[in-house]
């Protein structure tokens, strides 16, 4: 290996695809091939960014065959036999490339690619030109030979590493894949320019988050992701080592299973549809329908037995923790205990919720920033949340200007405008929940699918109207009905609402949720009973009210949704490295 240290492409090309001050410098660079073209001595010019260019000595038909894939498909359909032109093309493609390759590589450090100039005398070009191939090369930086996108390029004289790919099987070989298509390959997604930009923004945002809280005298503490404290507000994932008949489906002695019957029902349903389309006699249709009815009855019986089996209460005293345990849905309760010792604390980590719907906005594993401050009321939490959002949004414009610009020009041209809407001095518009409902009721010319009335959860369409249309900027909605917020929210004097707030951002909706916690012991005990939870399971939590109680408040940032807002994406699955949703946990 050469003694030179590998130079990140970002340090060479910068925002303008290269600075002439680097000309003449010897560097070592590495990355993955994004595109290429070859200037041959005599053979075909092969360009990964477009069609093959035919050599001058080919006939017209052969030229068409080379230039246009559609023409090749038509020829194959009309003449499915052996094609001399196809054989000639195959021979050309398999022949050793002679000439100079112009290879664009990217190492993930920035948006811009770096152009490498490599002669076939230095290394076989056919080994380093497939899309996705990893290369490590050494050479001299030169001024680009032709005017165009690149100011400088690397004249490579050493190839130190080549990681080959199979172009037929490599999923990113195809150009312009949709986000849905690349979700199937989460282990390759970051090699696309768009996802790589999102991940660099995400990384910078994590650093900025820690910087903001550290500079504002918050202490970072890590909260457990395993808890034995249940919650009424969210369902939770159970953690258990118990394996028994109560957690596994029994297979009847006759071998009939629920899954098998359900599969048979699907087949029988298709069969009936086919009979009806073919105008079969009524007797055949009637017999098939009776057969389907019988299968449905068997399925209902098996489903009932399955529910009864799972209803059997497991003996959790024999489980790993000796009691029921869950993946945490909220770090807030545990965070309070450390706030009551350290003053102001924050936690950055995942929470887990078995989300069934809205998969484009919610994940089973979501990263959140949770905060808590003592001697603080709701106003303090709202001010801190607002300052935090402004700081983080501004930091992205400073740390990742090229990535934000790329996403704005290639993906969402309103991305920059939404970020700028967060930054102006002054507070976000603040409206009470009651005022928000009144504004929705008065919305002229707007019809909501969900009826607007006091006490409802503000849906996506309600939030979009308030933030996108009515105010066209982030807003804070506060003082929610007590039934819409957790039991530990501080009850207001009207006994109907609690001290809680949401920061609603344009396009994505609620990104921050905050609460002033109920510090009165008698009041929170009453609320625990009111929502139907067992008080003994919260004895440790009530201890904080019994001993040295204090007013305290905090908030939680849905980090993944914040990334959605800053990048302009409409699907949360595209802004996390490995999204976990119902029926989908690849890798």
Domain boundary among 142, 175, 208: 175
Is the alpha carbon torsion for 64, 67, 73, 79 positive or negative?
A: positive
130 within domain boundaries: yes
Burial of 557-574, coded b for 16+ CB within 10 Å and e otherwise, reads bbbbbbbbbbbbbeebbb
Helix or strand or coil: residue 419? helix
185 within domain boundaries: no
249 within domain boundaries: no
Res 411: pLDDT: 80
- Bridge partners (DSSP) of residue 492 are none
Res 323: pLDDT: 87
- Residues 513 and 561 grouped into a single domain: yes
Domain boundary among 294, 313, 332: 313
Res 306: pLDDT: 67
Please state, in angstroms and as integers, the Cα–Cα distance from residue 369 to each residue in 257, 346, 372, 385, 427, following that order.
45, 7, 10, 11, 21
85 within domain boundaries: no
- Residues 143 and 232 grouped into a single domain: no
The tens place of each residue's pLDDT in the chain, 587 residues long, gives: 456 899 999 999 877 767 788 899 999 999 999 999 999 875 455 555 544 334 444 444 444 444 444 444 454 445 444 444 444 434 444 568 889 999 999 999 999 999 999 999 999 999 999 999 999 999 999 999 888 889 999 999 999 999 999 988 999 988 778 888 888 899 999 999 999 999 999 999 999 999 999 999 999 999 999 998 877 655 788 888 886 544 444 444 455 777 778 888 888 887 777 777 776 677 777 778 888 888 888 888 877 766 555 545 668 888 889 988 899 998 889 999 999 999 999 999 999 988 877 678 889 999 999 999 999 999 999 999 999 999 999 999 999 999 999 999 888 888 888 888 898 888 899 999 999 999 999 987 788 888 899 999 999 999 999 999 999 899 999 999 999 999 999 999 999 999 999 999 999 999 999 999 999 999 999 999 998 888 888 999 999 999 999 999 999 999 999 999 999 998 999 999 999 988 888 78
Please give the model's pTM, rounded to 2 decimal places.
0.79
- Residues 198 and 281 grouped into a single domain: no
Q: How far apart are CA 79 and CA 91, in angstroms?
A: 20
- Residues 145 and 227 grouped into a single domain: no
Write out the residue range of the structural domain in which residue 119 sits: 9-43+95-175
- Residues 379 and 280 grouped into a single domain: no
2 within domain boundaries: no
Total structural domains in the chain? 3
- Residues 279 and 399 grouped into a single domain: no
84 within domain boundaries: no
- Residues 273 and 356 grouped into a single domain: no
Q: 381 near 554, Cβ under 8 Å?
A: yes
Domain boundary among 175, 200, 230: 175
- Residues 475 and 560 grouped into a single domain: yes
- Residues 304 and 336 grouped into a single domain: no
Q: 106 near 113, Cβ under 8 Å?
A: yes
397 within domain boundaries: yes
Q: Which of 268, 263, 261 is nearest to 289 (CA)?
A: 268
Q: How far apart are CA 266 and CA 295, in angstroms?
A: 10
Rg (alpha carbons) of the chain, rounded to whole number: 31
- Residues 223 and 293 grouped into a single domain: no
377 within domain boundaries: yes
CATH number at residue 529: 3.30.930.10
CATH number at residue 146: 2.40.50.140
CB count in 10 Å sphere of residue 526: 13
- Residues 355 and 383 grouped into a single domain: yes
- Residues 143 and 199 grouped into a single domain: no
């Amino acid at each position: 290996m050469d003694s030179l240290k590998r130079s990140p492409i970002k340090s060479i090309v910068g925002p303008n695809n290269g600075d002439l001050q680097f000309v003449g410098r010897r560097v070592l660079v590495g990355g993955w091939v994004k595109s290429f073209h070859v200037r041959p001595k005599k053979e075909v010019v092969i360009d990964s960014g477009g069609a093959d260019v035919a050599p001058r000595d080919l006939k017209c038909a052969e030229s068409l065959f080379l230039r246009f894939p559609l023409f090749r498909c038509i020829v194959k359909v009309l003449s499915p036999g052996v094609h001399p032109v196809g054989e000639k093309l195959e021979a050309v493609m398999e022949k050793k490339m002679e000439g100079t390759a112009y290879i664009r590589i990217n190492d993930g450090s920035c948006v811009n690619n770096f152009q490498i100039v490599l002669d076939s005398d230095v290394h076989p070009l056919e080994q380093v030109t497939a899309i996705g191939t990893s290369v490590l090369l050494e050479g001299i930086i030169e001024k680009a030979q032709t005017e165009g996108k690149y100011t400088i390029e690397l004249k490579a004289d050493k190839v130190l590493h080549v990681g080959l790919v199979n172009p037929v099987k490599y999923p990113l070989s195809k150009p312009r894949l949709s986000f849905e298509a690349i979700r199937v390959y989460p282990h390759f997604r970051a090699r696309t320019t768009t996802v790589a930009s999102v991940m660099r923004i995400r990384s910078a945002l994590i650093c900025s988050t820690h910087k903001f809280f550290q500079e504002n005298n918050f202490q970072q503490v890590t909260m457990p992701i395993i808890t034995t404290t249940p919650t009424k507000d969210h369902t939770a994932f159970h953690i258990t080592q118990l394996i028994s008949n109560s957690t596994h489906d029994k297979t009847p002695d006759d071998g009939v299973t629920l899954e098998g019957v359900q599969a048979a029902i699907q087949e029988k349903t298709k069969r009936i549809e086919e009979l009806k389309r073919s105008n079969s006699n009524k007797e055949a249709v009637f017999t098939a329908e009776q057969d389907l009815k019988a299968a449905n009855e068997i399925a209902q019986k098996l489903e009932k037995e399955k529910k009864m089996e799972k209803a059997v209460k497991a003996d959790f005293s024999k489980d790993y923790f000796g009691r029921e345990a869950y993946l945490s849905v909220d770090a807030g309760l545990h965070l309070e205990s450390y706030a009551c010792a350290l003053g102001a604390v924050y936690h950055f980590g995942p929470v887990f919720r078995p989300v069934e719907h809205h998969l484009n906005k919610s994940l089973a594993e979501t990263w959140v920033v949770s905060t808590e401050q003592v001697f603080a009321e709701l106003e303090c939490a709202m001010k801190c949340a607002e300052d935090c959002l402004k700081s983080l949004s501004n930091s992205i414009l400073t740390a990742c200007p090229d990535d934000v610009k790329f996403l704005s020009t290639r993906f969402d041209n309103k991305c920059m405008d939404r970020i700028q809407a967060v930054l102006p001095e002054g507070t976000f518009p603040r409206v009470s929940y009651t005022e928000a409902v009144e504004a929705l009721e008065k919305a002229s010319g707007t019809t909501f699918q969900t009826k607007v009335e006091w006490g409802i959860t503000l849906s996506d369409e309600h939030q979009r109207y308030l933030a996108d249309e009515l105010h066209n900027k982030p807003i804070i909605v506060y003082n929610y009905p007590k039934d819409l917020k957790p039991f530990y929210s501080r009850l207001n004097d009207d006994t109907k609402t609690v001290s809680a707030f949401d920061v609603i951002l344009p396009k994505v909706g609620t990104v921050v949720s905050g609460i002033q916690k109920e510090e009165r012991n008698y009041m929170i005990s009453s609320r625990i009973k009111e929502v139907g939870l067992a008080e003994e399971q919260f004895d440790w939590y009530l201890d904080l009210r019994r001993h040295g109680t204090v007013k305290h408040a905090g908030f939680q940032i849905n980090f993944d949704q914040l990334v959605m807002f800053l990048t302009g994406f409409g699907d949360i699955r595209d802004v996390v490295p490995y999204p976990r949703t119902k029926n989908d946990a690849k890798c």
